[in-house]
Chains A and B, each alone.
Chain A
Amino acid sequence: MFPTVLLLFFLAAQSNPAPAPPIDWAKAKRLFDANCAGCHGPEGAGGKGPALAVPILPHARTNEQLAGVIVGGIPGTLMPASWHLGNEGVMLAVAYVRKLGAGATPPKVEGDAAKGQALFAGKGGCTNCHSIGYGPDLSSIGSRRTAASLRESITDPAAEVLEDYLPVRIVTREGKMVQGMRVNEDTFTIQIMEPSGRFSSFRKDSLSKLDKRVGESPMPSYKAVFSENELRDVVAYLSSLRGEQ
């Protein structure tokens, strides 16, 4: 058989620890490079996952929370469950992430956040989607993403689309066309949000076409919209959004 829920098991094992064995840092680094650096960047500098070389990790303030995040992942996000590392591996990963955090200096971001905020609401029209729930909540995006990956999100949104934001185009048997983003789906029905924020729901057997635009993002690219300076300012603004710390 095997596990759907191993978290409890690991956490229990963590909470009555044997005397801590000396950490094999070379092994810890290998483990981090193989399992985490692909998303969190070399030395935890950040990538499509947040920087881990930071003083405070909101999801992982205690070591137990950190172990929990590693074992169970963060459901609904890219952060995967890594229970396959085993007790020892999880312990090494925890130690390594803490070591990265201890040596951290906050990255310097170029650009003018105030100008960026104006572009966000004005020229960019970003609030059209991000304030109505059509795009994801960005209020703490700066603590989760590096400047480089934020830049990529704006210039090339399709490069890495969040799973929960699949663009779809449907045509009903009566010929009505609806475009939007999949909000939910089961074997028989699909729920869609249109860019206006309006929800609609369809039985699949009432559709003549259900086109899932895998690899596309509902968000347009701003490569041709913003100048280089404007782009820098918007990134600076997003980087400053750190939620409640």
Chain B
Amino acid sequence: MRTRNIPWAMLRGTVVLLYLFILVPIVITVSVSFNAVNQSKFPPLGFSLRWWADAMSARWLQPLAFSIELGLVAAVLSMLLGMPLAFALVRHRFPGRDALTTLALGPLALPALVTGIGLLQFIHAAGLGFLFGFPTLLIGHVLICLPFSVRTTAISLRAMPPNLELAALSLGATPSTVLREITLPLVKSGVFAGGVFAFIHSFTDYSISLFLSRPGTQPITITILSFLEYGFAPTLAAVAALTLVVPLVLIAIVQRVFRIGDFLYAENARG
């Protein structure tokens, strides 16, 4: 193709440095967890797995499991709410459509931290105190997941060749059959990707949970944050590294079904 010149070589050098900048802190966190001493030292002093053993205790596994559970339920619920919404926004013209589009993306546009306080006060003031704990936290997480599910569903609906559904109709399929046999199979992977993004967003979130979680319903991020007040023990590094495993495993599984890079890229290319 084009001849690469000196500026291009300089750009490559810069990009290598940038990748280092991106990855080094994460690598450091992971390696600190292997320290032999009870200090967060980098490079690690000696090697041991004792902090990992600590991290595997119920005290940490319980919030980790809770985060996974919360993320799964929130992702599924947000898909159930988001899919019909995306469907209506893409396939129908109706009054208030633009306002609803803005609203659907709202939880992503406004700071989740503040949405959290708003929700906390609102539920308190509305006398819905019985919802505190898991229900409130779940509501918050469904909220922040919703933009992802709506968006990914909308993208895959738009990516569908427009005439497929018409072709099926002309061949005698009723609208519900078209939905079942044509539309859903074709948006399946997009919807699934949306669910995965939603889960990861929920799993890595701390903003919405900060004010909504209670003892016993604490996601792992909040647990780590509250322990950081007492210092930066290597156990925390091990726990933090452990939380990396969940999304990575998920992405690895998903990669077998379809290439998530393609999906991200498609979203970009949409322009």
Whether A and B are associated in the same complex: the answer reads: no
The residues of B with any CB-CB pair to A shorter than 8 Å are none
The residues of A with any CB-CB pair to B shorter than 8 Å are none
